[in-house]
Amino acid sequence: MSDEARKFLYVNRKAPHGSIYALESLEVVLIGAAFEQDVSLAFLDDGVFQIVKGQDTKGIATKNFSNTYRALGDYDVRKLYVEQESLDERGLTVDDLMELTHDTDDEDDLTSIIVVNRSEMAKIMSEQDVILSF
Amino acid sequence: MSTLHTVNKSPFDGTSLTSCLAHCLPGDAVILIEDGVVAARKGTAAATAIEASLAQCKVYVLGPDAAARGMNGETLATGVETVDYGGFVELAATHDRTQSWL
Amino acid sequence: MKFAIVVNEGPYTHQASDTAYQFTKAALEAGHEIERVFFYHDGVNNATRLTVPPQDERNVQRNWSELGKAHGLDMVVCIAAAQRRGILDENEAKRQGKDADNIAEGFRISGLGQLIDAGIQADRLVTFGD
């Protein structure tokens, strides 16, 4: 393998809280950031629920890790692809999602959320070196 | 550049197969494994979707998983090919990446 | 070709570990290399040596241990996932003040970085889960 950064895509298709996959996927992303690869996240199907705003887990006594998505920008994880059709099917719009941002040298608070349609998502998937699904 | 997609869920239990087929590109391949194999049973609602997608991608079923679920060549949807574990490895090697639709 | 294998479910409840094992075995038989087998989520439960399945059933943990030994496989259990689920090696048991360890032969406990590293080093990464 060459020393060039590889393209890693984390595919999130499961809702949070009912199982541990979303939380443990996020842990991989945060650790993986130190490896300076070309990282993207994909949210489709029930995975879009992972980044819905207003999550409150006090009543189920589990860790509310949804705020951790806000830290992704600080880890230079800047490409969060969200599938439009998956939002539509679930009665969601981009306004229902958390504001997830990153800073660049020139500008602060740029949005990391990139809404794409299904065929664009398929193309993004087809351009990766490694796809990690949880 | 092509992708091998794996689907291990029954199409009657969630969106894995539907979502996989909707993200398949020409030249990709899909392998049905574990409970995913039931989608390839002739005459199921899912078999229609599979037969339709054969126009642009190849669909395989993992033979040992199909046999374990009472399926054989005769009960398999038209156009679906059967491979063993060695064939699964070969497909993973000959496509550029593998994507698991868990 | 170099494969990295990711196992995200434990033994017996789901078929994922069985399929991963058969795939790994077939890859080795075909002359491929296995860069690493990484156990994550409930997949860490494949690494306890304390399981006692009925005699007429496969022993998932032992199958992995034997395959690992025969081929010198690097079988890594994620430390964060393992700590949550009570999979410990001798060092971890001591460090955490626990009275026993349970990791099986051939497995080692390490960090999530080993998963990313496997993705970088291997030509193909294949995930088995539920």
In the predicted structure, residue C82 carries a pLDDT above the cut 70: yes
Section C73-90 average pLDDT: 97
Q: Is A1 within a domain?
A: no
Say if the Cβ atoms of B100 and C16 lie within 8 Å: no
Q: Which residues of C are less than 8 Å from A34 in CB distance? A: 113
Section A65-90 average pLDDT: 97
Q: In this structure, what token pair is assigned to residue A43?
A: 């949210």
B56 near A CB under 8 A: no
Per-residue pLDDT band for A1 (boundaries 50, 70, 90) equals: very low
Exposure string for C62-72, b = 16+ CB within 10 A, e = fewer: ebbbebbeeee
Name the percent of chain A lying above pLDDT 70: 98
Of C1, C8, C23, the CB nearest to B85: C23
Domains of chain C: 2-128 (3.40.1260.10)
Q: Is A114 within a domain?
A: yes
What residue in C sits closest to A35 (Cα-Cα)?
C116
CA distance C13 to B3: 28
Say if the Cβ atoms of A34 and C127 lie within 8 Å: no
Q: Which residues of C are less than 8 Å from A35 in CB distance? A: 113, 116-117, 120
Average pLDDT across chain A, whole number: 96
Q: Which residues of B are less than 8 Å from A134 in CB distance? A: 102
Report the gap between the CA of A54 and the closest CA in chain C (Å). 26
Among C6, C19, C34, C35, most B C-beta atoms within 10 A, so best to mutate, is C19
Q: What is the CATH number of the domain that holds A37?
A: 3.40.1260.10
In the predicted structure, residue A3 carries a pLDDT above the cut 90: no
List phi, psi (to 5°) of B95: -100, 155
Among C22, C29, C120, most B C-beta atoms within 10 A, so best to mutate, is C22
Per-residue pLDDT band for A4 (boundaries 50, 70, 90) equals: confident
Average pLDDT across chain C, whole number: 98
CA distance A74 to A12: 20
CA distances in angstroms from B69 to A52, B24, B59, B88, listed in the order given: 39, 26, 18, 18
Tens digits of per-residue pLDDT, A29-67?
Answer: 999 999 999 999 999 999 999 999 999 999 999 999 999
Say if the Cβ atoms of B23 and A133 lie within 8 Å: no
Q: Distance between the two ends of chain C, CA-based, in angstroms? A: 26
CA distance A114 to C35: 34
In the predicted structure, residue A128 carries a pLDDT above the cut 50: yes
Query: Are C23 and B88 spatial neighbours (Cβ–Cβ below 8 Å)?
Result: yes
Tens digits of per-residue pLDDT, B52-80?
Answer: 999 999 999 999 999 999 998 899 999 99
pLDDT attached to residue A2 = 52
pLDDT attached to residue A86 = 98
E strand or H helix at B100, and its extent? strand B97-101
In the predicted structure, residue C4 carries a pLDDT above the cut 50: yes
Q: Which positions of C are annotated as active-site residues?
A: 78
Q: Is A2 within a domain?
A: no
Say if the Cβ atoms of C8 and A134 lie within 8 Å: yes
CA distance A43 to A86: 8
What residue in C sits closest to A9 (Cα-Cα)?
C119
Query: Are A111 and A99 spatial neighbours (Cβ–Cβ below 8 Å)?
Result: yes
B93 near A CB under 8 A: no
The domain B3-101: what is its CATH number?
3.40.1260.10
Tens digits of per-residue pLDDT, B6-56?
Answer: 999 999 999 999 999 999 999 999 999 999 999 999 999 998 899 999 999
Any idea of the CA torsion for C91, C96, C98, C103, to the nearest 10 degrees?
Answer: -40
Say if the Cβ atoms of B3 and A45 lie within 8 Å: no
Domain definitions of chain B by residue range: 3-101
Residue of B60, B53, B66, B70 whose CA lies nearest to B19? B53
Tens digits of per-residue pLDDT, C32-79?
Answer: 999 999 999 999 999 999 999 999 999 999 999 999 999 999 999 999
**3-state SS string for chain A:** CCCCCCEEEEEECCCCCCCCHHHHHHHHHHHHHHHCCEEEEEECHHHHHHHECCCCCHHHCCCCHHHHHHHHHHHCCCCEEEEHHHHHHCCCCHHHECCCEECCCCCCCEECEEEECHHHHHHHHHCCCEEEEC
Classify burial at A67, counting beta carbons within 10 Å of its beta carbon; exposed 0-12, middle 13-18, buried 19 or more. Answer: exposed
Query: Are B60 and B82 spatial neighbours (Cβ–Cβ below 8 Å)?
Result: yes
pLDDT attached to residue A134 = 87
CA distance A75 to A60: 29
**Residues of the domain holding A18:** 7-133
Average pLDDT across chain B, whole number: 96
Sign of the C-alpha dihedral computed for residues A90, A93, A95 and A101 taken in this order: positive
